[in-house]
Structure 1
């Protein structure tokens, strides 16, 4: 069995799920976690953040339910309203980080979301990936080069296809994959204890 985490780095609920995700990964070091980027803000949805008037209310709900932090840097982006969230660029960056440290994909996904939702750093710029890579002790030059390379765009598109093949159209979604079976564990939010219960049900043959 392995876990598959489908998220979008610009999704507030994915940011809110970061603590649970980190706890689940720490509790189950034997379970590999595949991290897949979704395409929440692509095509016609790639618009200035002011176009999404629900964001602030949604963030308040996310904070209340999950304890997630939305920092001053991010709040300044909201107040200005002109920032454009581009999920393809974020997926390219996640692919570059994942390539640099495949076994740390969960940690790096969480760090990438903090860069945006706490620091207010664009996930479309090389500087952000340099910052995240340096903080993680990775080769920052290699990560930036991978982010800028054509292969990153192919990797982003492959992630979007993977999410679609898994039937995921909402983020975050956590799946258990057992052989050919794809078993939903979480869609939106759950505590780590709830995930543990669902994993235990799968291993005993009675998934709920």
Structure 2
């Protein structure tokens, strides 16, 4: 069995789901996890955050349900409403981080969301990836340079196509691949115990 996690670095519910995913992967170190950027704010949705009037209320709900924090630095970043959540840029950045340490994809996805929601950094800024790389022990200059390389755009586009082929329409989505079958085991929000129960039921039914 393996897992596929489809997320968006600008998705607040994905931020809230990060502790669950981290716990699941810690509990199952031999379970491979593929992490894919889904593309939430692209095309016509790549707009100033003021155009998404639900964001502040949604964040409050996410905090209530999951305990996820939204820092003062994040609030300052989005305060005047002009900040643009560009998921293509975020997917490019995640792709270069993932390429630097593929086996740490879950950790790096979480670190990227920490950079936005806790550090209040734009995920369109190469310096953000320099900082994330340095914090996670990667080569900061190599990662920052790769972010601006055209290859990062191709990697982001490949992720978006991958998410579409998987039929994912919302984030976060956690899928279990067992043999020829792909089964959703978490969507939007789930506690670790819920995911563990679904994994156990899935492996039991296939044994």
Q: Is the TM value for this pair above 0.5?
A: yes
2:116 paired residue number: 116
1:171 paired residue number: 171
Deviation of 1:78 (Å)? 2.7
Counterpart check, 1:182 vs 2:207? no
- Are 2:36 and 2:162, in contact at CA under 8 Å, matched by a contact in 1? yes
Residues 136-151 of structure 1: pairs in structure 2 closer than 5 A: 136-151=136-151
- Output one character per residue of 1:76-106: Cα deviation in whole Å (capped at 9) or x when no partner: 1232110001000000000000000000000
Structure 1 window deviating more from structure 2 (23-32 vs 141-150): it is 141-150
- Output one character per residue of 1:159-205: Cα deviation in whole Å (capped at 9) or x when no partner: 00000000001000000011221100000000011100000011111
Distance 1:92 1:147 in 2: 6
- SS of the residue corresponding to residue 189 of structure 1 reads coil
CA RMSD after TM alignment: 1.1
1:191 paired residue number: 191
Which runs of 5 or more structure 1 residues have no equivalent in the other structure? none
> How many residues are aligned here?
207
Under a length normalisation based on structure 2, what TM-score does the superposition of the two structures give?
A: 0.98
Residues 20-169 of structure 1: pairs in structure 2 closer than 5 A: 20-169=20-169
2:9 paired residue number: 9
Deviation of 1:128 (Å)? 0.2
Distance 2:76 2:7 in 1: 24
- Are 2:77 and 2:121, in contact at CA under 8 Å, matched by a contact in 1? no
- Output one character per residue of 1:113-152: Cα deviation in whole Å (capped at 9) or x when no partner: 0100111100001100000000001011111122111111
Distance 1:124 1:206 in 2: 43
Which runs of 5 or more structure 2 residues have no equivalent in the other structure? none
- SS of the residue corresponding to residue 31 of structure 2 reads coil
- Output one character per residue of 1:22-43: Cα deviation in whole Å (capped at 9) or x when no partner: 1011001010110000110001
Under a length normalisation based on structure 1, what TM-score does the superposition of the two structures give?
A: 0.97
Distance 2:197 2:158 in 1: 31
- SS of the residue corresponding to residue 120 of structure 1 reads coil
- SS of the residue corresponding to residue 167 of structure 1 reads coil
Distance 1:149 1:141 in 2: 13
Deviation of 1:206 (Å)? 6.5
